[in-house]
Structure 1
């Protein structure tokens, strides 16, 4: 590439080998930087993928990330180099982008081309210090004058990427406002104009002193004669920074603009993208060609935030569009709405279900994961899920090029919705050559309807070699399902594992824990296991063994000393308190120990001990004392606390203001920026039910 030496002047003088990135030594970083200037599109894309995967892994900033910034700025300033827009976006991400100043977004593009952004992952690494992020932001700000030049670049993709960059990082507000308004007047490319409008909305939010002028311009951009894409972008940012200036018929206007936009011919000069095996390439293959449409809709939905009625109406309009791309965007946007905000979602969920029968793979691939995470809320789509499961085994089990298979998304979603039509398909899966690891966990959501699966689960458990290195991985889900079904006929197969496993078996203690929980779930029907459970009272699984023994025999005298002893051990104190609560008044001798634990600084130990004291002694004082600080300090405790208040009945009334506030709150209790868990929605719905039950107990 001509001029490469000038681009990378000084790169070999940097002590890269002494620096680090996500996977160790940063000695490979110069090669990645040079590859960003390669003449090969495939090599450039792999290099960008490598930068996100290692140097800026999951948004982290390392010393090597900081050392890259000057070279990245040199790259984007060289007009002769291709694909600079991706490097501009990398710089924006390293600097924190708009999210560093804007605060949390309620939605994220599930097909963001920047890999490593899924914060659901937890690789166990220590979090990167805020100082590194602050230094990165300072370094990107220091070079932000380059972005001001790039908003006039000859490459429209660079101009598009530079619009938000100059807004987020250039500390010259009058100059930025002038640049954005000038470019909006002069820009001819319909792919760039929406980015300029979005940047203007970001500017209005970041620069309150200049907000009025920016908002006035956004309002003007929302009206004819501007094109649909520009108007949608302006409306999205107006919803975010000046919702009072939105038109009263917002949803009707947006739906009409979306449909007008979908009827336009696709631009003929879209840049060609390489076909690579990178994460960027995989995500691109999943998304429709119109990436700008997804950005426009994300901006609008994010701006509307908790205005769930408007967002539901908008989704309905999108989901009934003739354009499959509009429907696909609606499915993606619905995920963020469902995860963060509470509402009545029967209509949009039913419409998402209809997408499964449209015969379009992309729509199906978008819709199924959304329905999987809805659990019971997916019932309005259950008929379509059942049709899909019945259409062929490929929807019941998913086979991967490497690793064990998993349940197919349609079957998992149907079972999680508690629909008995999942049972025959699950039976076929259990008869297959390999049982997907998640099968047992999914069966639990079917309740009594899954009883016919008990014999098959028992048979598959009996096939597992007791000395197999993966015995725990294979047995644990089956044990979980058998315990949930109370299928005590499987006790011989369960005890076979306990009797036969070698002392050095991998994850032996975990397997013993799973076995004893299952035996405890069987209750008195598992009396044959009593001698083994008594042996386990002296060991690392003592608490679970005690719980199981009490469930099987009801012998409080045998388990109470063990549980009191474990209550004093930090590792098992919470579990022991929970089991003591199940013993009820017969565990009164442990009350003094539980009172001490209720004063612990560990919020979960507090909650467990306080709840146990109510169940044992009917004493509301510890619960009420622990409840308020725990409720606010750790949202994960709320389900446990609400269930305890339900058991307390009128005695819990002094804390019912918290329950009423929770039921009235529009936002899900586990909603957070930048990430989510697959069970956030179902656990929030369980919390709401527990709150209503407790309030109804008075």
Structure 2
């Protein structure tokens, strides 16, 4: 089975974590008689040898041994090995480099996959069905093989895999698709069982939507419920060994009916832009009498919410209703969805509040490692903007163990959060200034106090800026956050002027300079610092400097030459910031409009910045108003791309909803006459300068670290 494995020079090869000398042990682990050891070995293969889909020289060296293992009847769980081979082989056309070599290596074993479609192990047969479609370059033969296997197969799970393979075949070989589509259409109707019919509908939606029934959603919901009624009661215990692997963790987290989840997920993905149908389907899932079906629905809801714009009142209300379920996994799944919806979670706020009131033990989440954090239900309630969260947050702040990330949610409550200011100040005052985790603890508090415009926090911030020792982890980012908060306080923070002046030569110079301008109006001290950072091509603060100069208005006229040059920079964020600044300082509409239009198309994430500038331009921004109007009619969220299904960011929905609000203001003619600076420092009209992405979260993008083209800020 492992002939020749010791002759391979594994030590000279690499994987994601360095030397590949441990790979033989992983390969041998795949053949272990112990289920846990096999799972750990497979997890290691995905985690190192095929990390996030990458291909290394060690990956290529493994392929022959993986084929040997897949063909050995005595090896258990060979379906996972076949799936690993399929993943290594990729899913596209042959390409150059390591990926092309990997695909060629797996394609060379296509006949092995053909034999495995008739294997005694159902898991192997199911995995091999898709492999044959992907790697055997004989469409007629592949179709005959699938048709034959459907005729003789008796295992429902393998039949589902064969149905998926038919859909894949139809998409890959449109010239041979008609017989495959006919087979799928037949499988979508009686006398086939509900699970197989659901699978066939999902595949038809992806390859032949014209063959779908007119009453697709009611049909799918009815099939789902029939399928659930035919299943035996699902076990709450995870089906598999108790391992600390990714597979093991997902098994404990995901619903027990992963097959049902996959069936509906496939249908949702195939329906794509048919959002009304998808919402109706989701509502049908969320009203199922089976908790497992509802849990599956909750988990797939973010895929829809993050990609498409629509009225989600009903599904969000139904997700909120799951918070009263006795099933902990269903409740936790609902919380995890609502917490990332921010304002859109409002239809579930009553249920969130009821859960928070009934379960005080959920207010704070304790972790085995690391500091406690705000519990999901209370966090979701606060992020939705519900003022009922305020007194409960006050109780949390008054406790002996209050999570510092509570400061991240206060800004979402608006003025209603004002009563929290004294407790937030107290926590900021109590922070040890040499704490290694000061960044994680201080920045959320500063963000909250900035959002609340709390004048009384200035002395505490001065203490913070003066007392932090040199060399403290992420010290510069804490300094920047503190300076921005002082700047937001304006003249009421005049006692901070000496401290801010002392920071003008440090790494946080731009934030300090902008704060000094807001507090004292000392343009002579501020302007040279900002121009220095703007014109230094090695500076990571160029975008931030441009933004700050724009807020200075006419006082920043000496910086115009540098800003004009920056409008031609390679970095789209720098070009955007510079263009906005040029308009705010000099009103050069003809120069600015083409730069902003190009940036809008080039990088959708710049759109919030651009639309705020357009609003500030008032009538002068009319040449760009079509961008805002078109954005309002676009069905897809601006941060989502086709095939990405909404992205992975926890703030995707928030960012898009904020963009839409800004676009509505422009479309309604709500330009901001304060747009061109007049020397008073308030010419931008865009709040506290934190950027759109986190609306005061304070931890996503410290100024100059990630909001341009100069690197990434650490996440909290």
Common fold: TM-score over 0.5:
yes
Name the residue aligned to 1:668. Answer: 637
Q: Give the alignment partner of residue 553 of structure 2, picking from 547, 564, 584.
A: 584
> Is contact 1:49-1:279 (8 Å) kept?
yes
**Other structure's SS at 2:640 match:** coil
Q: Give the alignment partner of residue 50 of structure 1, picking from 44, 55, 59.
A: 44
Answer with 19-28 or 160-169: which moved more.
160-169
TM-superposed CA distance for 1:456, in Å, is 0.7
Instruction: Verify: 1:195 aligned to 2:161, yes or no.
Output: yes
TM-superposed CA distance for 1:588, in Å, is 2.3
Name the residue aligned to 1:298. Answer: 265
> Is contact 2:202-2:263 (8 Å) kept?
yes
Q: How does 1:229-248 map to 2 (within 5 A)?
A: 229-248=195-214
TM-superposed CA distance for 1:602, in Å, is 1.7
Instruction: Verify: 1:622 aligned to 2:582, yes or no.
Output: no
Q: Give the alignment partner of residue 365 of structure 2, picking from 393, 398, 403.
A: 398
> Is contact 1:647-1:694 (8 Å) kept?
no
TM-superposed CA distance for 1:272, in Å, is 5.9
> Is contact 1:375-1:682 (8 Å) kept?
yes
Q: Give the alignment partner of residue 603 of structure 2, picking from 617, 634, 656.
A: 634
Q: For structure 1, which runs of at least 5 residues remain unmatched after alignment?
A: 1-6, 103-128
TM-superposed CA distance for 1:268, in Å, is 11
**Other structure's SS at 2:306 match:** helix
TM-superposed CA distance for 1:500, in Å, is 1.9
Q: Give the alignment partner of residue 171 of structure 1, picking from 137, 151, 164.
A: 137
Give the whole-Å Cα distance in 2 for the aligned partners of 1:69 and 1:288.
33
Q: How does 1:500-579 map to 2 (within 5 A)?
A: 500-570=467-537, 571=539, 572-579=541-548
**Other structure's SS at 2:157 match:** coil
> Is contact 2:49-2:56 (8 Å) kept?
yes
Q: Give the alignment partner of residue 564 of structure 2, picking from 574, 578, 595.
A: 595
Name the residue aligned to 1:131. Answer: 97
TM-superposed CA distance for 1:273, in Å, is 2.3
Q: How does 1:268-283 map to 2 (within 5 A)?
A: 273-283=240-250
Q: How does 1:178-257 map to 2 (within 5 A)?
A: 178-257=144-223
Name the residue aligned to 1:604. Answer: 573
**Cα separation, partners in 2 of 1:606 and 1:17, compared to 1, 3 Å:** same
**Other structure's SS at 2:409 match:** helix
TM-superposed CA distance for 1:271, in Å, is 12
TM-superposed CA distance for 1:101, in Å, is 6.6
Name the residue aligned to 1:693. Answer: 665
TM-superposed CA distance for 1:465, in Å, is 1.8
Instruction: Verify: 1:453 aligned to 2:447, yes or no.
Output: no
Query: TM-score, normalised to structure 1's length?
Result: 0.92
Q: In the TM superposition, what whole-angstrom CA distance separates every residue of 1:227-263 from its partner, at most 9, and x where no partner exists? A: 1111100100100111111110000100110010000
Q: How does 1:95-494 map to 2 (within 5 A)?
A: 95-97=89-91, 100=92, 131-266=97-232, 273-494=240-461
Name the residue aligned to 1:677. Answer: 649
Instruction: Verify: 1:27 aligned to 2:21, yes or no.
Output: yes
**Cα separation, partners in 2 of 1:169 and 1:581, compared to 1, 3 Å:** same
Name the residue aligned to 1:107. Answer: none
Name the residue aligned to 2:77. Answer: 83
**Cα separation, partners in 2 of 1:73 and 1:544, compared to 1, 3 Å:** same
Q: For structure 2, which runs of at least 5 residues remain unmatched after alignment?
A: 671-716
> Is contact 2:255-2:296 (8 Å) kept?
no
TM-superposed CA distance for 1:81, in Å, is 1.4
Name the residue aligned to 1:66. Answer: 60
Give the whole-Å Cα distance in 2 for the aligned partners of 1:437 and 1:331.
29
> Is contact 1:646-1:695 (8 Å) kept?
no
Q: Number of aligned pairs?
A: 664
Name the residue aligned to 1:118. Answer: none
Give the whole-Å Cα distance in 1 for the aligned partners of 2:473 and 2:291.
49
> Is contact 1:94-1:136 (8 Å) kept?
yes
**Cα separation, partners in 2 of 1:661 and 1:130, compared to 1, 3 Å:** farther
Instruction: Verify: 1:650 aligned to 2:612, yes or no.
Output: no
**Other structure's SS at 1:340 match:** coil
Answer with 479-488 or 581-590: which moved more.
581-590
Give the whole-Å Cα distance in 2 for the aligned partners of 1:624 and 1:308.
34
Give the whole-Å Cα distance in 2 for the aligned partners of 1:668 and 1:66.
39
